[in-house]
A and B are shown apart, each in its own frame.
Chain A
Amino acid sequence: MAQGEARAVFGLPFAEPPGPDTWLLGQVYGNTTGAFARRREWYRAGQGIHFGIDFSARCGTPIVAIGDGVVLKVDAPEHGSAPHNLLIAHPNGYVSLYGHLLERPPLRVGQRVRRGQVIGLTGDPDLTCNSRPHLHLEIRDRTLGRAFNAHRLIDADWDALMLVGAFGRGFQRDLDDPRKWQSVYDQPDIRFGRPLINEFRNTWPRDWN
Chain B
Amino acid sequence: MSQPYAFLAACALMGFASAALVVSNAAAQTRPAGSASAPRPSPAFTQLTDDGCCTQPFFSADGHHVLFLDKPTATAPVGIWSVAVDAPLSPPTLFTERLGPFSRDLSLALDLQNGQTVIERLRDGKRWTVNNGGRPVIFSLDSKRIVWTVLQEVGGFDVRRAQIYVADVDGRNARRVATRFGGGPLGWLPDSKHLLIGGRANHNDPGPTLSVLNVDTGALRDLVAVERLRGASISPDGRMLAYFVAQARDASQNGMYLLDLTHPSPVPQRLNFFGAFRWRDARRLLYIPLRPGAPGDELWQLDVATGRTERLIAADAGSPFKIANGDWDVARDGSKLVFLSARDRNLWLVTLP
Interface residues of A (CB under 8 A from B): 17-24, 26-27, 33-35, 37-38, 42-43, 50, 52, 54, 56-58, 125-126, 128, 130-134, 136, 156-157, 159-171, 173, 175-179, 182-184, 202, 204-209
- Pairwise interchain contact B292-A178, C-beta atoms closer than 8 A: no
Chain A min CB distance to B151 (Å)? 9
- Pairwise interchain contact B231-A160, C-beta atoms closer than 8 A: no
Task: Output the nearest chain A residue to B9 by Cβ-Cβ distance.
Answer: A208
Instruction: Say whether B314 faces chain A, with CB atoms less than 8 Å apart.
Output: no
Instruction: Say whether B284 faces chain A, with CB atoms less than 8 Å apart.
Output: no
Cα A157 to Cα B159 with chains together (Å) = 34
Task: Output the nearest chain A residue to B14 by Cβ-Cβ distance.
Answer: A170
Interface residues of B (CB under 8 A from A): 1-4, 6-7, 10, 13-14, 20, 22, 52-53, 55-56, 69-71, 78, 99, 101, 111-112, 115, 133-136, 156-159, 230-231, 244-249, 251, 254-256, 274-276, 288, 290-294, 297, 322-326, 342, 345
Chain B residue contacts of A56, Cβ below 8 A:
2, 246-247
Q: How many contacts between A and B, using CB within 8 angstroms?
A: 169
- Pairwise interchain contact B10-A34, C-beta atoms closer than 8 A: yes
- Pairwise interchain contact B134-A156, C-beta atoms closer than 8 A: no
- Pairwise interchain contact B134-A128, C-beta atoms closer than 8 A: no
Cα A33 to Cα B136 with chains together (Å) = 14
Task: Output the nearest chain A residue to B74 by Cβ-Cβ distance.
Answer: A177
Cα A29 to Cα B64 with chains together (Å) = 34
- Pairwise interchain contact A18-B292, C-beta atoms closer than 8 A: yes
Task: Output the nearest chain B residue to A202 by Cβ-Cβ distance.
Answer: B78
- Pairwise interchain contact A175-B135, C-beta atoms closer than 8 A: no
Chain B residue contacts of A206, Cβ below 8 A:
111-112, 136
Chain A min CB distance to B94 (Å)? 13
Besides A21-B247, A163-B276, A209-B115, 13 other A-B contacts (C-beta < 8 A): A17-B292, A19-B274, A21-B246, A33-B6, A33-B10, A56-B2, A159-B342, A163-B323, A166-B326, A179-B52, A205-B136, A208-B135, A209-B134
Chain A min CB distance to B30 (Å)? 14
Are A168 and B10 also in contact (CB < 8 A) when A163-B275, A179-B70 are?
Answer: yes
Are A125 and B10 also in contact (CB < 8 A) when A156-B292, A206-B112 are?
Answer: no
Chain A residue contacts of B53, Cβ below 8 A:
179
Chain A min CB distance to B50 (Å)? 14
Cα A184 to Cα B1 with chains together (Å) = 17
- Pairwise interchain contact A164-B115, C-beta atoms closer than 8 A: no
Chain A residue contacts of B4, Cβ below 8 A:
132, 167
Cα A40 to Cα B326 with chains together (Å) = 27
Chain B min CB distance to A18 (Å)? 6
24 contacts between A and B (CB under 8 A): A19-B290, A20-B244, A20-B256, A24-B247, A27-B3, A35-B1, A38-B1, A54-B2, A130-B156, A131-B156, A163-B275, A164-B231, A165-B230, A167-B6, A168-B10, A173-B69, A176-B78, A179-B52, A179-B70, A179-B71, A206-B112, A207-B112, A208-B112, A208-B134
Are A134 and B245 also in contact (CB < 8 A) when A126-B157, A175-B71 are?
Answer: no
3 interchain residue pairs of minimum CB distance? A131-B156, A206-B112, A20-B254
Chain B min CB distance to A127 (Å)? 8
Are A170 and B70 also in contact (CB < 8 A) when A160-B292, A162-B326 are?
Answer: no
Chain B min CB distance to A150 (Å)? 14
Chain A residue contacts of B56, Cβ below 8 A:
170
Are A125 and B1 also in contact (CB < 8 A) when A19-B274, A156-B292 are?
Answer: yes
Chain A residue contacts of B297, Cβ below 8 A:
160, 163
